[in-house]
């Protein structure tokens, strides 16, 4: 396996430099305010390190998907108003206790303004307002690079994207990883060469876990399946899942994965089922394969909780990717909560793969009991699937290995 290498902040001469930092501030905005500032706080160590070195910091991030709104016929002005990073700048200023200036007109559809406002910390407007970002456009990357002396990637959650602000830009500036990206790569690498027994929990509702599952089928000692993924595997085995949701993409490869993994894969023996997708729904416990018509599985059942704890108890490495039920609803949170607290009590390397599983860990106040909670759901899974070779990290590796 070829190991990705990259420079870090300690390798760079940062004193009094202009530093362009790619962060991941793609957060939910409600009523003009940031709903969850976890991603903002994750970037603070790198920002503080740069401030110590008297750097001028230019942050860049995207928010939402401007191109989709433009395709739907909204004007550029309407999109700018809807997906501005102004609420992020305000929230970040509160966290840091210092001014963060949003460069409101910095990013155009085909341009970058080089006339930035004065200030120690500048946040460029939504980087995806420029069409070149998602195309990994070299001209756009060169315009961004003209703003600074050094480039820092501290946006792990988007490092699996081949975007200009992650990849092409490294051709035009001395480049390194920020403290967050350095930490993510170090901690997630523990999954690639795990202490054994290695147990993976793979659950949730998304179909983005197929690649990781293929690798885990060979690498893990046990794989505990939950959520929509469990419904999908059970349906593939011919079990009646009632009205339970399943994923078509995973269904198509479920047999292949089960054939490779064999007895490593553990599926629920019972579920908490409901007559509707609602916290006020009628509920009961049903054995696997015995879900009545019109009812749906929304959490693992008490027997499965006991069984999964037994599978986890001797683990030395645990990967948790996806909640085991609809934990956002109190009636269907018990399985995720109980397994989460049990994992927290174990003496093992415990890696939480971002996304909904990270939200669950936050919800149940378990962050401090985990070895690492990733800031990137899709990025962490792709890191595992591709054994560390994410596009943005490859770009840093190429930059590191270029002749000086």
Cα-to-chain-centroid distance, residue 312: 24
Which residue of the set 355, 376, 377, 388 is catalytic? 355
Residue 30 is encoded by which pair of tokens? 């409600």
What is the model's pLDDT at position 239?
A: 92
Domain borders along the chain are 9-180+388-401, 196-347
| Of 260 and 268, more confident | 268
- Is 355 labeled as catalytic in the residue annotation? yes
Query: Over the stretch 286-326, which tens digit does the pLDDT of each residue have?
Result: 999 999 999 999 999 999 999 999 999 999 999 999 999 99
Residue 250 is encoded by which pair of tokens? 């995973």
What is the model's pLDDT at position 1?
A: 45
Query: Over the stretch 97-120, which tens digit does the pLDDT of each residue have?
Result: 999 999 999 999 999 998 898 889
**Whole-number Å distance between alpha carbons of 383 and 267:** 25
- Is 322 labeled as catalytic in the residue annotation? no
- Is 178 labeled as catalytic in the residue annotation? no
What is the model's pLDDT at position 224?
A: 96
Which residue of the set 206, 209, 264, 266 is catalytic? 206
SS3 assignment, position 84? coil
Which residue of the set 132, 204, 226, 378 is catalytic? 378
Match 């070195």 to its residue by tokens.
Answer: 53
Residue 36 pLDDT more than 70? yes
With a CB cutoff of 8 Å and minimum separation 6, the contacts of 52 are none
Query: Over the stretch 333-379, which tens digit does the pLDDT of each residue have?
Result: 999 999 999 999 999 999 998 788 888 999 999 999 999 999 988 88
Question: Rounded to the nearest 5°, which phi and psi values hold at 57?
Answer: -105, 125
Q: Are 395 and 166 in contact (CB under 8 A)?
A: yes
9-180+388-401, which class in CATH? Answer: alpha beta
Burial (0-12, 13-18, 19+ Cβ within 10 Å), 153: buried
With a CB cutoff of 8 Å and minimum separation 6, the contacts of 143 are 111, 112, 114
Which residue of the set 17, 22, 39, 219 is catalytic? 39
What is the model's pLDDT at position 402?
A: 62
Band of residue 172 on the pLDDT scale cut at 50, 70, 90:
very high
Q: Which CATH number fits domain 196-347: 3.40.50.1260, 3.40.630.30, 1.10.1060.10, 3.40.30.10?
A: 3.40.50.1260
- Is 17 labeled as catalytic in the residue annotation? no
In this prediction, residues 161-170 reach a mean pLDDT of 97
Say if 9-180+388-401 and 196-347 have the same CATH topology: yes
What is the model's pLDDT at position 252?
A: 83
Residue 112 is encoded by which pair of tokens? 């970058």
Q: Tell me the pLDDT of the chain averaged across its residues.
A: 92
Residue 273 is encoded by which pair of tokens? 């089922």
Which residues, in sequence order, are bridge partners of residue 107?
112
């Amino acid at each position: 396996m070829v190991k990705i290498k990259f420079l870090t902040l300690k390798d760079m001469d940062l004193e009094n430099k202009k530093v362009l930092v790619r962060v991941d501030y793609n957060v939910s905005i409600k009523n003009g305010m940031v709903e969850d500032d976890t991603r903002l706080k994750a970037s603070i160590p790198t920002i503080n390190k740069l401030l110590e070195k008297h750097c001028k910091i230019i942050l860049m991030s995207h928010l939402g998907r401007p191109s989709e709104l433009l395709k739907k016929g909204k004007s550029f002005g309407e999109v700018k108003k809807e997906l501005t990073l102004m609420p992020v700048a305000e929230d970040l200023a509160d966290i840091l206790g210092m001014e963060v200036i949003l460069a409101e007109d910095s990013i155009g559809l085909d341009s970058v303004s080089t006339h930035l406002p004065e200030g120690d910390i500048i946040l460029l407007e939504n980087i995806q307002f420029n069409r070149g970002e998602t195309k990994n456009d070299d001209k756009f990357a060169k315009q961004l690079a003209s703003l600074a002396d050094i480039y820092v990637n501290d946006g792990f959650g988007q490092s699996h994207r081949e975007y200009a602000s992650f990849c092409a830009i490294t051709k035009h500036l001395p480049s390194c990883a920020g403290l967050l990206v350095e930490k993510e790569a170090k901690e997630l690498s523990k999954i690639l060469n795990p202490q054994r027994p290695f147990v993976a929990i793979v659950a949730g509702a998304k179909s983005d876990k197929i690649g990781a599952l293929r690798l885990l089928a060979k690498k893990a000692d046990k794989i505990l399946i939950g959520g929509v993924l469990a419904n999908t595997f059970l349906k593939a085995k011919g079990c009646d899942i009632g009205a339970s949701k399943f994923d078509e993409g995973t269904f198509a490869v479920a047999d292949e994965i089960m054939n490779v993994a064999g007895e490593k894969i553990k599926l629920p023996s019972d579920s908490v089922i409901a007559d509707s997708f609602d916290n006020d729904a009628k509920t009961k416990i049903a054995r696997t394969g015995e879900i009545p018509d019109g009812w749906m599985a929304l959490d693992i059942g008490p027997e499965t909780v006991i069984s999964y704890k037994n599978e986890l108890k001797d683990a030395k490495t645990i990967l948790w990717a996806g909640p085991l039920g609809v934990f956002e609803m109190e009636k269907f949170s018990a399985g995720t909560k109980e397994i989460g607290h049990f994992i927290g009590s174990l003496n093992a390397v415990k890696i939480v793969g971002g996304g909904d599983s990270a939200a669950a860990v936050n919800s149940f106040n378990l962050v401090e009991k985990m070895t690492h909670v990733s800031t990137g759901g899709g990025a962490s899974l792709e890191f595992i699937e591709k054994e560390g070779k994410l596009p943005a990290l490859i770009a840093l590796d190429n930059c590191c290995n270029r002749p000086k």
